[in-house]
């Protein structure tokens, strides 16, 4: 007579593992940084649990899964266990979480509550109520199947016996084996009977089974003579029975009497070596499946985003009325829509969030999207709608053309908000919302810069004061104080020693000469370039005297305040590429010169580490949204006259990864193309390594008429188009195609708009399009969106305007002649002196950031159109060494604006009932 074929779990599980190994390699090809992650959480230290866990970890390592064993002590409370589970649930690099049962704790713990705390999408054991419920309802494609029953099904498949239409009997109804086994067989179309301790005539029921699965936990309970001839028998039992012949005095048997069953069955699993190895293999299969689902759900550039519908009113209401009429999406939802993971987002209320920088690492192997910069012709004092066009364009690309798109804009300074200008959130039906949040504190980045900047200012004056009242030795002993009987340098002090060429780490070994060099910065008070800042338009701080109190012993000096956005720390924030890079840039900021001509840095003052700590949150970009629900990064807002006037490199880099290769990132450069765009290319793109695909140049009939000399006729408008022509040419110096966006106002005539478009094309623009996004939202900028999309496919051969190695004066001359149309430059005595100083100090090869009026191509604000035949006077040159540029001053630049007679704050108030901010616009 024939005995049953033995189904060996070891062999089947080896095949499963091989297949999984290939799957993991496949995922690595898709994303080299990706690894499936598994955490096994254990409470206590049971030997049997340790054995199972080591098997699981070994299998995971072999397949290429990153497995972690998380051990909690026996004393762990339910609260602590749940906290650990939450932590793993929120960690996006973990795809499977197993809670090893039983929980071996001295406290009473609700096992059901603990297993159900595991996120269903990470529950690779399949034990949560959600996964069990899905399985019992037949949603097999959307759940995790518990590992033992899943392994049993795999073993049944190996026999080649088809399950459909067969009679199956399951003995046992535990949630780990029996109950899910019943469901699996049922959804594989078997007719299933579940038997248990209360079943009458168990032998009779077993005799009807074509397929028999036993998991009851009673040694050798099922006898061979009960079994139907040729049946498939799967034995899940593990029981120990006494056996004198074994060294341990016992042996392992299943729930089926193997020897007799083998005579009846067609197929049978042995114990050990049957179901056991399959459980671990299926656990790994679930982990790999979970990782696959994660990768599919988080393909960069695969957005499932819903847009907000505008309810357009005519005439167009005020900006704040429009902003209020729209209910913003919860920011958490936008974050998910654009592919951010929950542990990469820090929520600041419901409408704004910060994004963690570690996302750059997660997405580093992804291709970037298309990069667009919005700039303008030389504006009128009112501005020509660059921000509004930026927002209108992204609303068009996103909500109307279904392209992934991000806007990256600057955070406005609070000074002008309460002064004369009002907000900078765009306008009409193309705005960032909620505009109150955008224009007021946002997430406190500008405050962080104020605090950091003023800490440096305090450090400079305190150091000069202490040096002037102490001997070298006393100074040294205070800078390196005795603590516990010994002196120790702090890491920042060791950096200073290294820069001085002193390779020592023990304070007692310095010579007298080294002590003097280390302890005395010897700052020349007249050389201090670092000012205090405030984010308010306060004209009375333009020149002040500090040190008037008697405690300062007569060490008074003249000083000034700047507006916070003019601080070099703001420029550093905008140009940095990582936390480490920001730490280095903050350390390199030069604040003064010593009496013997050495640059003094914040690192010399010992304050650079503290600055990094104050700026650690400000470095994370802020996520907001437009009126139509497209995502916006608001980050950094450097003053566009004396700094480079562009939002942050980090926001652009993250956005370019998130939108995917077919998507767009639209950023904006401050003022006209002669200032913001030139600095965007020569400074920002130099440091970011990013290459733009398209320049959008915003023009208005109103401004072009001003450049032509008056508001009346087409002739003057045509004359004024010379300014637009020059700015198109300026963009073309960098080898990037230009699309002109003619921002239409209701007073413009058809003839005027047509004239501007045809002149722009004649001047070499790739395309010129009229837009009505202020009145119509994204719908009014669809033609612009299509033009930008076409231009982004056109050939562009990007190049910088000048080489960094050129002498300082030559770089300034190239900008003046090529971009402004000057005949030449004239370095005035202060500027000449700085050229020599900075060249000697080693700063000669930094890019140039021109500080000049934005109201004319020349240095004289009232010269409109395209001024000719002028020499550009360079009054002085300053160095932002940390940010990484030199800024020549052309004319005088107020670095803190003043308030007018009737500032905007007259209209601003809070409604105490609704807490609404009124009168902001």
Coil, strand or helix: which one is 913?
coil
Distance of CA 443 to the CA centre of its chain: 15
* DSSP-assigned states of every residue in 436-484: HHHHTTTTSHHHHHHHHHHHHHHHHHHHHHHHHHS-HHHHHHHHS-EET
Integer Cα distance of 767 and 695 in angstroms = 11
What pairs with residue 600 in β-bridges? 592
Look at strands 211-214 and 167-171 and give their pairing: parallel
DSSP codes, 387-441? HHHHHHHHHIIIIIT---EEEEEPPPPHHHHHTTS---SEETTEEEESHHHHHTT
205, 269, 280: which is closest to 233 by C-alpha? 269
Dihedral sign for Cα atoms in the order 409, 385, 780, 429: positive
Q: What is the dihedral of CA 875, 880, 883, 886, to 10 degrees?
A: 40
Q: Which residues contact 553 (CB under 8 A, 6 or more apart)?
A: 465, 469
Q: Where are the beta strands (DSSP E) in 689-840?
A: 694-699, 738-743, 767-771, 824-827
CA dihedral (679, 681, 684, 687) positive or negative: negative
CA distances from 491 to 483, 591, 830 (A): 16, 21, 37
The structure tokens listed for 531 are: 């000012």
Structure tokens at 645: 């006037």
How far apart are the C-alpha atoms of 95 and 102, rounded to whole Å?
22
Altogether, the residues listed in the chain come to a count of: 921
User: How far is 22 from 250, CA to CA, in rounded Å?
Assistant: 40
Number of C-beta neighbours around residue 577 at 10 A: 17
Secondary structure letter of residue 580 according to DSSP = H
Contacts with 252 (C-beta within 8 Å, 6 or more apart), sequence order = 238, 239, 240, 271, 272
Q: Is 56 a catalytic residue?
A: yes
Provide the H-helix boundaries in 559-616: 568-575, 579-588, 602-605, 608-614
The span from the CA of 447 to the CA of 535, in Å, is: 8
Place of tokens 């280095």: 584
DSSP letters spanning 619-675 = TSPEEEEETTS-EEEE-----TTTS--B--HHHHHHHHHHH-TT-EEEEEEEEEIII
State both tokens at 168: 């199956």
Q: Note whether 721 and 879 are within 8 A (CB).
A: no
Residue from 22, 28, 56, 354 carrying the catalytic annotation? 56
Instruction: For residues 663 and 727, give the distance between their C-alpha atoms in angstroms, rounded to a whole number.
Output: 27
Question: Structure tokens of 661?
Answer: 């290769």
632 CB-contact burial (10 Å; exposed 0-12 / middle 13-18 / buried 19+): buried
> Which residues contact residue 715 at a Cβ distance below 8 angstroms, ignoring those fewer than 6 apart?
708
**Tokens 């609303």 found at:** 395
> Which SS3 state, helix, strand or coil, does residue 40 take?
strand
Q: Residue 223, exposed/middle/buried by CB under 10 A (0-12, 13-18, 19+)?
A: middle
Radius of gyration, alpha carbons of the chain = 36
Positions marked active-site: 56
């Amino acid at each position: 007579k024939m005995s049953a074929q033995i189904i060996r779990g070891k062999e089947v599980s080896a095949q499963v593992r091989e297949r999984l190994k290939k799957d993991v390699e496949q995922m690595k090809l898709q994303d080299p940084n990706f690894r499936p992650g598994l955490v096994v959480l254990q409470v206590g230290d049971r030997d049997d649990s340790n054995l199972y866990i080591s098997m699981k970890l070994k299998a995971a390592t072999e397949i290429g899964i990153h497995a972690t064993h998380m051990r909690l002590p026996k004393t762990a409370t339910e609260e602590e266990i749940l906290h650990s589970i939450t932590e793993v649930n929120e960690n996006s690099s973990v795809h499977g979480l197993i809670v090893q049962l039983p929980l071996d704790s001295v406290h009473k713990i609700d096992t059901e509550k603990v297993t159900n705390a595991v996120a269903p999408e990470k529950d690779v054991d399949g034990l949560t109520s959600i996964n069990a419920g899905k399985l019992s309802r037949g949603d097999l494609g959307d759940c995790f199947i518990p590992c033992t029953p899943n392994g049993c099904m795999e073993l049944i498949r190996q026999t080649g016996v088809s399950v459909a239409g067969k009679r199956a009997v399951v003995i046992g109804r535990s949630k780990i084996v029996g109950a899910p086994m019943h469901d699996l067989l049922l959804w594989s179309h078997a007719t299933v009977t579940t038997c248990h301790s209360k079943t009458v005539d168990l032998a009779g029921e077993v005799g009807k089974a074509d397929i028999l699965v036993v998991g009851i936990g009673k040694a050798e309970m099922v006898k061979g003579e009960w079994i139907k001839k040729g049946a498939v028998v799967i034995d899940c039992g593990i029981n120990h029975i006494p056996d004198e012949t074994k060294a341990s005095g016992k042996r392992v048997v299943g729930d089926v009497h193997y020897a007799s069953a083998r005579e009846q069955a067609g197929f049978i699993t042995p114990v050990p070596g049957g179901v056991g190895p399959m459980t671990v293999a299926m656990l790994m299969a679930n982990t790999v499946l979970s990782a696959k689902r994660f990768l599919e759900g988080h393909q960069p550039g695969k957005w499932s985003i819903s847009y907000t519908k505008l309810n357009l009113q005519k005439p167009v209401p005020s900006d704040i009325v429009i902003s209020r009429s729209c209910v913003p999406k919860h920011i958490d939802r936008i974050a998910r829509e654009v592919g951010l993971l929950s542990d990469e987002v820090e929520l600041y209320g419901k409408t704004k969030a910060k994004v963690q920088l570690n996302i750059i690492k997660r997405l580093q192997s992804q291709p970037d999207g298309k990069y667009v910069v919005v700039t303008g012709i030389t504006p009128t004092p009112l501005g020509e709608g660059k921000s509004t066009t930026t927002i209108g364009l992204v609303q068009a690309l996103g909500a109307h053309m279904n392209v992934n798109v991000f806007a990256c804009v600057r955070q406005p300074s609070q000074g002008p908000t309460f002064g004369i200008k009002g907000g900078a959130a765009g306008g009409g039906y193309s705005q960032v919302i909620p505009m109150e949040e955008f224009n007021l504190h946002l997430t406190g980045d500008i405050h962080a810069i104020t605090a950091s900047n003023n800490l440096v200012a305090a450090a400079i004056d305190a150091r000069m004061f202490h040096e002037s009242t102490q001997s070298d030795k006393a100074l040294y002993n205070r800078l390196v104080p005795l603590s516990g009987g010994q002196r120790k340098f702090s890491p920042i002090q060791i950096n200073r020693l290294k820069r001085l060429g002193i390779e020592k780490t023990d304070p007692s070994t310095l010579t007298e000469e080294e002590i003097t060099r280390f302890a005395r910065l010897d700052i020349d008070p007249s050389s201090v370039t670092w000012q205090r800042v405030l984010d308010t338009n306060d004209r009375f701080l333009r020149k002040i005297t500090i040190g008037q109190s008697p405690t300062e012993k007569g060490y008074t000096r003249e000083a000034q305040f700047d507006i916070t956005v003019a601080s070099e720390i703001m420029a550093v924030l905008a140009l940095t590429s990582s936390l480490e890079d920001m730490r280095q840039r903050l350390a390199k900021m030069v604040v003064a010169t010593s009496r013997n001509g050495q640059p003094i840095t914040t690192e010399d003052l010992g304050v650079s580490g503290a600055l990094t700590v104050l700026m650690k949150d400000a470095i994370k970009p802020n996520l907001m949204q437009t009126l139509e629900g497209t995502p916006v990064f608001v980050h950094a807002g450097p003053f566009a006259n004396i700094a480079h006037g562009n939002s942050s490199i980090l926001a652009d880099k993250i956005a370019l990864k998130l939108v995917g290769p077919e998507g767009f990132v639209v950023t904006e450069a401050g003022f006209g193309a002669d200032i913001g765009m030139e600095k965007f290319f020569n400074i920002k793109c130099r440091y970011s390594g990013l290459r733009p695909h398209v320049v959008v140049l915003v023009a208005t009939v109103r401004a072009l008429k001003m450049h032509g000399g008056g508001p009346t006729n087409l002739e003057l408008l045509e004359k004024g188009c010379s300014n637009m022509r020059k700015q198109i040419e300026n963009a073309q110096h960098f080898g990037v195609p230009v699309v002109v966006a003619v921002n239409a106002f209701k007073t413009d005539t058809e003839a005027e708009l047509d004239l501007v478009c045809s002149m722009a094309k004649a001047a070499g623009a790739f395309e010129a399009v009229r837009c009505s996004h202020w009145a119509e939202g994204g719908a009014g900028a669809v033609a612009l969106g299509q033009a930008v999309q076409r231009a982004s496919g056109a050939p562009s051969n990007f190049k910088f305007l000048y080489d960094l190695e050129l002498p300082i004066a030559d770089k300034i001359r190239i900008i003046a002649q090529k971009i402004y149309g000057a005949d030449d430059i004239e370095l005035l005595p202060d500027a000449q002196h700085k050229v020599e100083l900075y060249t000697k100090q080693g700063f000669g090869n930094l890019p140039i950031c021109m500080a000049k009026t934005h109201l004319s191509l020349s240095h004289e604000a009232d010269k409109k159109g395209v001024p000719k035949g002028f020499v550009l006077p360079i009054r002085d040159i300053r160095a932002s060494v940390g940010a990484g540029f030199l800024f020549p001053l052309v004319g005088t630049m107020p670095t803190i604006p003043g308030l007018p007679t009737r500032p905007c704050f007259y209209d601003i108030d809070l409604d105490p009932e609704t807490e609404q901010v009124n009168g902001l616009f």
